[in-house]
């Protein structure tokens, strides 16, 4: 049973943030409700006022800016929309594949990308890949708009840099440079992933010029792995490289214990999915899948 609440349906981002400011802690943004309503039903939290942002124009757009080489996704886009969008499939096939395996079709048909990121549940698939892709988030409040790198958004376990009166409006994903391979690998035993690694690797003349490696699900939030990245940078592409880098992932990653898996098991899983992600990204960056880049 849910306690009583009122649903407000603002027509604009400004109106939504004004409502959040007006009701203060009594209000929450309501998108798909797949996390929010369950938490309210289980009486983990309660908000007498839900600000339903689904009617706000523009929050369901997916656009690609040729000049800036950037995909922009509205926050109320559902996982299922991302999975099926020809534009996402063409520009970021790894993201389309990731989305197709989020949760189950019922959750994907209702749950939004913005809700996923704002809830900051540590087992988020998109959070890990979007951190490796250096996405930027646009947050809207009554006092204006701000843009911040996704890496600065996740501040702790289910905590973000979003202020209470801010609505996440859009996510901008820059296209990686030429000769860059993008890969995401996860291991899933439960509803959500247990361990995941995203790799974005650029190769020039047979050597790695840039690497962004991010581990997700094993700790409190997505984490860049600078030691693993440094190990990869400058190295000639060789078949043993993914295993060597994966050993570093196992040693470098920070894990958080939970009721299901031990920390050493999570490290081992991060190593395994990390090796697969790095091998796949190197393969794609070397043009073996034929693209100028295979995001
Ligand atoms: C059974 C199940 C399995 C799942 N499996 C996976 C999985 O495998 N991988 C994965 O990544 N995720 C998984 N999820 C999480 C799923 O992706 C999220 O539940 C969904 O995306 C949340 O979106 P929503 O629109 O329903 O959010 P809501 O429930 O509406 O909101 C979630 C939170 O975010 C806030 N919020 C929502 N939108 C905004 C916004 N635009 N601006 C500011 N605040 C906002 C709300 O106030 C609330 O606090 C699973 C969830 C379930 C229930």
pLDDT tens digits, 146-181: 999 999 999 999 999 999 999 999 999 999 999 999
What confidence score (pLDDT) does residue 294 get? Answer: 53
Residue 113 alpha carbon to ligand 1 centre in Å: 7
Which are the contacts of 12, defined by CB distance < 8 A and separation ≥ 6? Answer: 56, 57
pLDDT in tens, 10-27: 999 999 999 999 999 999
Residue 236 alpha carbon to ligand 1 centre in Å: 40
Domain ranges in the chain are 1-46+59-175, 180-285
Q: Is the pLDDT of residue 293 over 60?
A: no
Is the CB of residue 36 below 6 angstroms from any atom belonging to ligand 1? yes
- Quickly list H helices, the chain: 13-23, 36-41, 79-84, 86-91, 93-100, 105-110, 113-119, 125-132, 150-153, 226-232, 241-252, 263-285
Q: If pLDDT is split at 50, 70 and 90, which confidence band does 295 have?
A: low
What confidence score (pLDDT) does residue 291 get? Answer: 43
- Residue with the nearest Cα to atom 50 of ligand 1? 103
Q: Which CATH superfamily is domain 180-285 in?
A: CO dehydrogenase flavoprotein, C-terminal domain (3.30.390.50)
pLDDT in tens, 177-189: 999 999 999 999 8
Ligand 1, pocket-test mutation among 119, 137, 148, 153, most atoms within 8 A of CB: 119
- Measured CA to CA, the distance from residue 140 to residue 137 in angstroms comes to 10
Residues of the chain above pLDDT 90, percent? 92
Question: CB count, 10 Å around CB of 94?
Answer: 24
CATH architecture for the domain at 1-46+59-175 = 2-Layer Sandwich (3.30)
- Residue with the nearest Cα to atom 43 of ligand 1? 167
Is the CB of residue 160 below 6 angstroms from any atom belonging to ligand 1? no
**Residue 212 and residue 197 in contact, taking contact as beta carbons nearer than 8 Å:** no
Residue 287 alpha carbon to ligand 1 centre in Å: 35
Where does residue 135 rank: exposed (0-12), middle (13-18), buried (19+ CB within 10 A)?
A: buried
What confidence score (pLDDT) does residue 292 get? Answer: 42
């Amino acid at each position: 049973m849910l306690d009583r609440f009122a649903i407000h349906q603002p027509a604009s981002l400004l109106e939504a943030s004004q409502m959040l400011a007006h009701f203060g802690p009594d209000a929450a943004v309501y998108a798909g409700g797949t996390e929010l309503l369950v938490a309210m039903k289980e009486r983990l939290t309660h908000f007498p006022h839900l600000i339903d942002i689904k009617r706000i124009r523009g929050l369901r757009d997916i656009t690609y800016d040729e000049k800036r080489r950037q995909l922009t996704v509205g926050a109320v886009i559902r996982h299922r929309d991302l999975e099926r969008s020809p534009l996402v499939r063409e520009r970021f096939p790894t993201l389309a594949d990731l989305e197709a395996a989020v949760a189950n079709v019922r959750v994907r048909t209702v749950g939004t990308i913005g809700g996923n990121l704002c809830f900051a549940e540590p087992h988020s698939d998109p959070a890990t890949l979007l951190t490796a892709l250096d996405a930027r988030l646009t947050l809207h409040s009554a006092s204006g708009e701000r843009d911040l790198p996704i890496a600065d958004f996740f501040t702790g376990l289910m905590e973000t840099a979003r202020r209470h009166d801010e609505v996440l409006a859009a996510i901008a994903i820059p296209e990686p440079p030429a000769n860059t391979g993008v890969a995401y690998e996860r291991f899933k035993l439960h509803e959500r992933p247990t361990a995941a690694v995203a790799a974005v690797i650029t190769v020039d003349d047979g050597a790695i010029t840039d690497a962004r490696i991010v581990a997700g699900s094993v700790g409190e939030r997505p984490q860049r792995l600078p030691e693993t990245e440094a190990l990869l940078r400058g190295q000639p592409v060789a078949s043993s490289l993914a295993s060597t880098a994966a050993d570093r992932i196992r040693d470098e990653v920070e894990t958080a214990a939970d009721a299901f898996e031990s920390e050493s098991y999570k490290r081992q899983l991060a190593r395994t999915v990390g090796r697969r992600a790095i091998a796949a990204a190197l393969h794609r960056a070397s043009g073996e899948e034929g693209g100028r880049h295979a995001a």
